[in-house]
Amino acid sequence: MLQLPIQTAAYWTTDLKITRADIEAIFARFLETEQPLTAREVALFFIKQRIAAEQDKLRKQLANATLFQPSKHYEVGQELIFPALNFASGKVVGVRRGYNPDYGEFNVIEVAFGEKRREFAADLRAPHPLNDVSHDLNALFSAVQPSPEAIFERYGESIIEALEARLVDEPDAIFMGGFWFVRSLLAQVSVAHLHLAEAVLDLREGGPATAEELLPDLDFAPELPLPLRAFSLNVALSQDERFDNVGADGDVRWFLRRLEPPEVLQIPPRLEYQPLAYDERLLTPELRELEIELGDEFSELPPLAKPPREVRIRLIYPHRRMGTLPMNAYLEAMLPLATEARRLLITLIDGQTSEPFNAWVVREGRYLCGLSDFYRRHKLPIGVHLTFRATEHPSRFVLSFKAHRPRTEYIRLAIPSGGKLRFENFKRSIGAEYDELMILGAEDIDGVDQVWAATRNRGRSLSDILSDLLPELARLMPQQTVHAKTLYSAVNIVRRCPPAPIFATLLSRPEFESVGNGYWRMASA
């Protein structure tokens, strides 16, 4: 079977080198179309150019040489092309007689390929597949011409990687919002245009808005193609600190930075975890399984084969207090990539009312914010089970919980007292499914905040905090014991901490005693 070099995997992967001619051809394409191109479009153009170049090279080779076929006669000095050797060219340097009982008499030609020499049968009367190779160039090219789309399907990732590695070193190449273009061809965006863009976003309460949505109010270069105008505006906005790209990759959307919520611009101290040293070898398999079940955003969770379509979350006090949603590794894997945006604005759909609302993804803080109204509207308690579910749109998700008719139940209420927390059982109306071991209440929010601030300012150790909380919670239980999940929920009222350091402290300190099944008590004196 005939095979051009461009039909081999090595040509598009290990052997692939992007030349200056390739870059110049891509730049000429930008100049010709005045259109930014996605990485896929650049790669497909490159593939088509390489196919055309290789076929042109082959045409020139065949124009000056003879296509080798075993049935033909050849003389010393003839130039031959060998389709079976990736169309390598060689020169006949010797001819001798040959014989084989199966094939009869024939000639053996010696062919030089540079320094190397090989022998081939000629004047062969027996049938041979290479005798069927057409001398019609058009028929030959039709037989071996690969599909650019098929090549991209198989090797697109390697091709894009090689092209982008070369383009980032080009001073005139620019990448923005999933598109490549040439910097020198950008339309000039004036200061006045940027001021107008700010005013438009102001009227939209900060945003978000795409460049295409902003352009009608800017009177910006109307004579140019829309894609070029939008790309030029995106580049200009990205270089102005007033504007923040809050869109996922390939979906550039702009927001006024000064109108973003405070918890988007700075991580609230309530949500900050100051890492604690602990011996993870102490954790029993039971406690490790419990840590995975709790799914804290600062816990190391087992990897999944693919991103999940749904994640279940247990709400703890600091997130209920700040109106945020913890973003553990599984939830983050569901979110769209945003390599160019520090902050991502997504749409959440209230699973109870089907109403959409905006939520901000703050990856460095490992949380989503903008959920205060959602929590307040549904009167959700600490410990509620929330479900975060993907939709067909990559930036839209459903946030729901299992609701039921509100009923009065006893819950543990945190009461500030003397710079610490007491706990008492009180009746409260609950209308959502929750984890009975984690549910807590707090009504004196200011007082609880003061306890949290005092704990933080005094730098109280985890063992001291547990020594305060465990007996307080245990006295509410007939067995005078407290489950590890309850302690995790309670600790996080006064100090942000994932489960593992809490569990390790319980195991390593003599004042705490395990009674089995995840329950703990203060050790007897």
Cβ atoms < 10 Å from Cβ of 177: 22
Chosen domain end from 378, 404, 430 = 404
Say whether both 113 and 168 belong to one domain. Answer: no
Query: Could you report the per-residue pLDDT of 174-184, keeping only the tens digit for each?
Result: 999 889 999 99
The alpha-carbon radius of gyration of the chain (Å, integer) is 35
- Decide: 248 and 337 in contact? Cβ < 8 Å: yes
CA distances from 95 to 208, 223, 237, 359, 450 (A): 78, 70, 72, 80, 100
Checking DSSP bridges between strand 79-82 and strand 88-100, what pairing results, if any? antiparallel
Are 26 and 150 found together in one domain?
yes
Domain CATH for 112: 2.40.10
pLDDT of 262-313, one tens digit each?
A: 999 999 999 999 999 999 899 999 999 999 999 999 999 999 999 999 999 9
Structure tokens at 193: 């245009």
Q: Each residue of 158-194: pLDDT tens digit?
A: 999 999 999 999 999 999 988 999 999 999 999 999 9
Question: Which one-letter amino acid corresponds to residue 142?
Answer: S
Q: How confident is the model at residue 342 (pLDDT cuts 50, 70, 90)?
A: confident
The per-residue pLDDT for 329 is 95
**Whether the Cβ atoms of residue 420 and residue 447 lie closer than 8 Å to each other:** no
3-state SS, one letter per residue, for 121-156: EECCCCCCHHHHCCCCHHHHHHHHCCCHHHHHHHHH
Burial class of residue 171, CB neighbours in 10 A (0-12, 13-18, 19+): exposed
The answer on 162 and 251 residing in a single domain is no
CA distance 6 to 107: 33
Q: Where are the alpha helices (DSSP H) in 145-282?
A: 148-167, 191-203, 211-214, 226-238, 262-265
- pLDDT tens for 68-101 read 889 999 999 998 888 778 677 889 999 999 888 8
User: Residue 6: what pLDDT?
Assistant: 80
- What is the pLDDT averaged over residues 310-318? 96
Per-residue pLDDT, 1: 40
Please, are residues 28 and 171 in contact by the beta-carbon 8 Å criterion?
no
- Is residue 278 in some structural domain? no
Question: pLDDT tier at 145 (50, 70, 90 boundaries)?
Answer: low
Please report the pLDDT score of residue 167 as a whole number: 95
- Within-domain flag for 266: no
Do 436 and 507 have their domain in common?
yes
Residue ending a domain, choose from 260, 277, 305: 260
Full residue range of the structural domain in which residue 235 is found: 186-260
Per-position b or e across 329-353, b if 16+ CB within 10 A of its CB:
bbbeebbbebebbebbbbebbbbee
DSSP class per residue in 26-87:
HHHHHHHH---EEHHHHHHHHHHHHHHHHHHHHHHHHHTSEE--TTS---TT-EEEEGGGTT
CB proximity list for 5: less than 8 A, separation 6 or greater:
11, 54, 86, 87
* Domain tally, the chain: 5
Least confident residue range of 102-106, 158-162, 269-273, 354-358: 102-106
- Report which residue type is found at 132: D
- The domain boundary, picked from 359, 377, 404, lies at 404
Assign 438 a pLDDT band (cuts: 50, 70, 90): very high
Given a contact cutoff of 8 angstroms between Cβ atoms, the answer to whether 254 and 207 are in contact is yes
Range in 210-219, 332-341, 498-507 the model is least confident about = 332-341
134 pLDDT exceeds 60?
Answer: no
Q: What is the pLDDT of residues 13-53, one digit of tens each?
A: 999 999 999 999 999 999 999 899 999 999 999 999 998 88
| Helices and strands, counts by H and E, the chain | 17, 23
Average pLDDT for residues 484-501, to the nearest whole number?
Answer: 96
Give how far Cα 488 sits from Cα of 53, 121, 315, 327, 513, Å.
65, 82, 12, 17, 16
Residue 487 to residue 68: CA distance in whole angstroms: 82
Using CB atoms within 10 Å of the CB of residue 28, give its burial: 0 to 12 exposed, 13 to 18 middle, 19+ buried.
exposed
**Residue the block writes with tokens 């894609």:** 227
Q: Is residue 230 part of a domain?
A: yes
Same domain, 150 and 242: no
Average pLDDT of the residues in 406-420 = 90
pLDDT at 131 over 80: no
Is there a contact between 81 and 87 (Cβ–Cβ < 8 Å)?
yes
Contact 382, 323 (CB under 8 A): no
Considering the domain architecture, whether residues 40 and 123 belong to the same structural domain is answered as no
Residue 322 token pair: 């700040």
